Amino acid sequence: MINPHGSDKLNPLFVMDAGEREALANEAKSLPAITVCSAAAANAVMLGSGYFNPLTGYMNLADSLAVAEKMKTANGLFFPVPVVNVVPDASAIQGAKQIALKDPNVDGNPIIAVMTVEAIEEATDDQMKFMTEKIYRTDDMDHPGVNAFNTVGKTFISGPIKVLNFSYFETEFPETFRTAWQIREEIAELGWEKVVAFQTRNPMHRAHEELCRMAYNALNADGILIHMLLGKLKKGDIPADVRDAAIRKMAELYFPPKTVAITGYGYDMLYAGPREAVLHALFRQNCGCTHLIVGRDHAGVGDYYGGFDAQTIFDEEVPAGAMEIEIFKADHTAWSKKRGEVIMMRDAPDHTKDDWVFLSGTKVREMLAAGQSLPVEFSRPEVAAILMKYYQGEANK
């Protein structure tokens, strides 16, 4: 199986031993505590799960600046985005060597991790602007990722952590949430060697389904990992439980048994386009995948990124040998009326706009809310039925 990023063996930061975990949780109750932001809590989940291998905790300001500038920490470890714990005020933990991190996303704010504090540093406005522009390629506060990064404070708390739980992901998505090591175990049990991953924060329509099939066949892969983001999204995105049901129905009906693994991970979407595409590749390497599908406007939002910036970053900015995982580059995919099948648009230079079955997200939402069936060329009927139930419920609120 492919090695994880940066080490021969995956090193998740979750405290595996139940007795040790219980003892640490009890000890944490007496430690100085701070409630972290949603992004920092999600970072703890990802560190605990092994997706951020080989990191041992939150980055300091120097590493964050270096990663933002050149995708390498100060000591040269390749990493595409800073992994940080940023707060508006750290006065409650000043002088503490060990602190408890409280989860903002669960009622009662339970302790999600215990942290050894190595540094507490205040970023300047110029440093925040520099990191924002490098990571997101914009400092527009209308960009959801930019807004999230710049509204949680400027105080960076860095140091190693020990993770006690996986926030709400394990309890709300017990059939779907999986750590990186659990996925590696499943891939090994299935006997897969070549595994292609598909990242999604949306339900999968015919084009997404066929894209997975195209990559699977082109690479002669053993299996497909459909890996959905379960964390915080922007307003208007479909909730994870609805996406999960729709994707499971699609895989159940339209893929052969034991060719698709449907899983999810606990992270908040950054909408960082090219940088997030590289991060997505790193995640999938850590969970044992050999290939990641990167399509048009991968991890993008609005018009902030060029259609294929998330592909060219791997050629132009990711150093050779930085990661072992390979990229399957995909074009926009849709149903061709001329050919009677889903194909990539780059493979049909003779097509005009009218030769494709293509619906905007707005049109899809309007049709589903009105109880109108989507074209079978666009969406499987069984998938559309699940989405229609959700949108009609939203329309009647």
What is the per-residue pLDDT across 126-139, written as a single tens digit (0 to 9) for each?
999 999 999 999 99
d(CA 282, CA 284): 5
Residues 182, 162 share a domain: no
Q: Which residues of the chain have pLDDT under 50?
A: none
**In 3-state terms, the chain is what percent helix, strand and coil (to 5)?**
35, 20, 45
Domain assignment present for 149: yes
CATH code of residue 148: 3.10.400.10
Cβ proximity of 263 and 243 under 8 Å: no
Residues 37, 139 share a domain: yes
Domain assignment present for 13: no
Residues 379, 246 share a domain: yes
Count CA within 13 A, CB hemisphere, residue 365. Answer: 9
Residues 228, 147 share a domain: no
Domain boundary residue, one of 167, 185, 201:
167
Count CA within 13 A, CB hemisphere, residue 282. Answer: 27
Residues 142, 195 share a domain: no
Using the Cα atoms of residue 210, residue 215, residue 219 and residue 225 in order, give the sign of their dihedral. Answer: negative
d(CA 72, CA 68): 8
Neighbours of 213 (CB within 10 A): 16
The chain-wide mean pLDDT, for the chain, equals: 94
Active-site annotation holder among 3, 109, 201, 213: 201
Residues 101, 23 share a domain: yes
d(CA 106, CA 46): 17
Active-site annotation holder among 202, 213, 248, 365: 202
d(CA 243, CA 241): 5
Domain boundary residue, one of 102, 137, 167:
167
pLDDT digits (tens, 9 = 90+) for 196-220: 999 998 888 999 999 999 999 999 9
Domain assignment present for 332: yes
- pLDDT of the residue at 365: 81
Cβ proximity of 203 and 383 under 8 Å: yes
d(CA 360, CA 362): 5
Domain assignment present for 253: yes
Domain assignment present for 224: yes
Q: Could you tell me how many residues make up the chain?
A: 397
Domain assignment present for 301: yes
d(CA 16, CA 13): 8
Residues 222, 157 share a domain: no
Q: Please, where are the H alpha helices in 71-168?
A: 125-136, 144-149
Domains contained in the chain, number = 2
Residues 258, 142 share a domain: no
Q: Reply yes or no on whether 286 is catalytic.
A: no
Structural domain harbouring 66: 18-167
Residues 300, 191 share a domain: yes
Domain boundary residue, one of 127, 142, 167:
167
Domain assignment present for 3: no
Q: Reply yes or no on whether 202 is catalytic.
A: yes
CATH code of residue 363: 3.40.50.620
Using the Cα atoms of residue 41, residue 67, residue 156 and residue 128 in order, give the sign of their dihedral. Answer: negative
SS (H, E, C) 266-285: CCCCCCCCHHHHHHHHHHHH
d(CA 145, CA 340): 39
Instruction: Compute φ and ψ for 279, nearest 5 degrees.
Output: -60, -40
Residues 254, 151 share a domain: no
Domain assignment present for 6: no
- pLDDT of the residue at 396: 65
Residues 355, 229 share a domain: yes
Residues 184, 153 share a domain: no
